[in-house]
Structure 1
């Protein structure tokens, strides 16, 4: 008999003192599993400059670290290249404090260009592959992961770390799971009995999202 699963609530962001904040971030927050950004124009970049500066000042963060990228407006917009993304990641992760939402913003700001990343795309017909783009500075790794049509990853999480994933080409289906719900004390006399029993229960699927090209997801 399968045990029912309870859908876990999403974690609520808060300040260091435990106060919950609902202030809008200047970069795309983790509101949905997958967001596709519309092209930026000059007004978008101008408002982003002010918003990011104010966000940093309010939280005593260095204003020269968190900044908008790829701005220009119209036909003069500056292209944010893969090399620019690598440089920005190195610069941001050199700080003691790193804002994960800003890293997600950087990933969303890079628009997929096969001419830049194709040399890292090494496929294997039997399994997905992980191909290193940049080893980072000891705080992050940038990789290109390649899945074939029938490939998948085993169920896993990212404890004590964050994974920000961008789809460079094609579609990818993300499936989210929860552990089976714990039995009541009336059903189990000993805790170790539950631990053993839980291993025999199937994971509970919470939902799935189809990610399209240039979509970004934050997994933690």
Structure 2
């Protein structure tokens, strides 16, 4: 029977899975497949396509949260299915060194994700206050000058300055938070965010990370707002 795979752990991880039900219909129990020094956490799944339904996303995350409470697993993204237990053991055997190295790298840590956006009004006000050329162009346009070159020049100037300021803000946020982490990854931002940062934070250093973030959040003059999610399984640090 096909199996849905949630994570890989070291053999000594307790894998307290009692009471957990897995992804897919029928509330399948979650169990362990072992090979050598590694364990894979799995549940049986039928032939139907696994889709990201709310119930299944919650079940997937509940398994990983339980594992994270007792140690750091290597989480798999939602939807990974293997043909059977034998195929899982084969992958554990073939990739044993890779998995063991990765588990050593994340041991005792959790992932925190930081997203940052900047309030547009504060950003534009700052640009107009600091750039005489931008301010002058804006005043000419507001005064009724209909030269079509003016808004084009102002648009190019503002776009370049927005990019420069967001790049600087990203660098400052990374500089402030990275020392609290063992490693970090910068992902492509989405929506209104200009930064999407994942950090691998030691569990005994979480207070330092949160204090550093709180200190950043006190700076409201720049219009930069950050959002933190975590502690999370270290998705961003799985090879």
With the shorter chain as reference, the TM-score category is under 0.3
**TM-score, normalised with respect to structure 1:** 0.26
More helix by share: 2
Larger Rg: 2
Q: TM-score when scaled to structure 2?
A: 0.25
Give the structure with the higher percent strand: 2
